[in-house]
Amino acid sequence: MNTTQPKAGQYTRQEIFSQPEAWQGVLDVFDAQRTQVSALLAQGPFDQVIFTGCGSTYYLSIAAAAVLQRVRDVAALGLPASEVWLNPAALPPARRTLLVAVSRSGETTETLRACEHFRQSDRGAILTLSCFPERSLTTLGDLNLVFPSIREESVAQTRAFSGLYLATLALAAHWQDDADLLAELRRLPAVLAPLLDRYAAPLEKLGRDLSIDRFYFLGSSIRYGLACELSLKMKEMTLSHSEPFHFMEFRHGPKSMITPDALVVALLSDERRADDRAVVADMRKLGARTLTIGSADADVSLGSELGEVARSVLDLPFGQIVALSRSLAKGLNPDHPENLDAVVVLG
Q: pLDDT tens-digit profile of 194-248?
A: 999 999 999 999 999 999 999 999 999 999 999 999 999 999 999 999 999 999 9
Strand order in the sheet with 75-80: 75-80, 48-53, 97-103, 124-130, 143-146
* Residue whose C-alpha is closest to residue 85's, from 63, 105, 48, 58: 58
Q: Is the pLDDT of residue 343 over 90?
A: no
- pLDDT, residue 342, reads 54
345 within some domain? no
196 and 257 part of one domain: yes
181-191, pLDDT tens digit by residue? 999 999 999 99
79 and 54 part of one domain: yes
According to DSSP, the residues that pair with 97 across neighbouring strands are 48, 124
113 and 253 part of one domain: no
Q: The domain that contains 262 carries what CATH number? A: 3.40.50.10490
286 within some domain? yes
217 within some domain? yes
14 within some domain? yes
300-323, pLDDT tens digit by residue? 999 888 999 999 999 999 999 999
81 and 169 part of one domain: yes
Amino acid in the structure at residue 64:
A
Distance of alpha carbon 8 from alpha carbon 194, whole angstroms: 25
- pLDDT, residue 243, reads 97
- 180: number of Cβ within 10 Å: 10
Of 177, 210, 231, which residue sits at a domain end? 177
23 and 170 part of one domain: yes
Q: Is the pLDDT of residue 346 over 80?
A: no
196 and 144 part of one domain: no
125-171, pLDDT tens digit by residue? 999 999 999 999 999 999 999 999 999 999 999 999 999 999 999 99
Which residues, in sequence order, are CB contacts of 184 under 8 Å at separation 6+? 306, 307, 309, 310
**For the chain, how many structural domains are there in total?**
2
Q: Is the pLDDT of residue 1 over 50?
A: no
Of 125, 158, 177, which residue sits at a domain end? 177
According to DSSP, the residues that pair with 126 across neighbouring strands are 99
Distance of alpha carbon 123 from alpha carbon 90, whole angstroms: 14
Q: 51 is in which domain, residue-wise?
A: 10-177
- Lowest-confidence region among 27-36, 46-55, 58-67, 330-339: 330-339
281 and 245 part of one domain: yes
Give the C-alpha distances (Å, rounded to integers) separating 323 from 61, 122, 159, 258: 22, 42, 14, 20
28 and 140 part of one domain: yes
pTM of the shown model: 0.95
347 within some domain? no
Q: Is the pLDDT of residue 4 over 80?
A: no
171 and 264 part of one domain: no
30 and 125 part of one domain: yes
224 and 94 part of one domain: no
288 and 312 part of one domain: yes
344 within some domain? no
325 within some domain? yes
87-137, pLDDT tens digit by residue? 988 888 878 999 999 999 999 999 999 999 999 999 999 999 999 999 999
Of 120, 153, 177, which residue sits at a domain end? 177
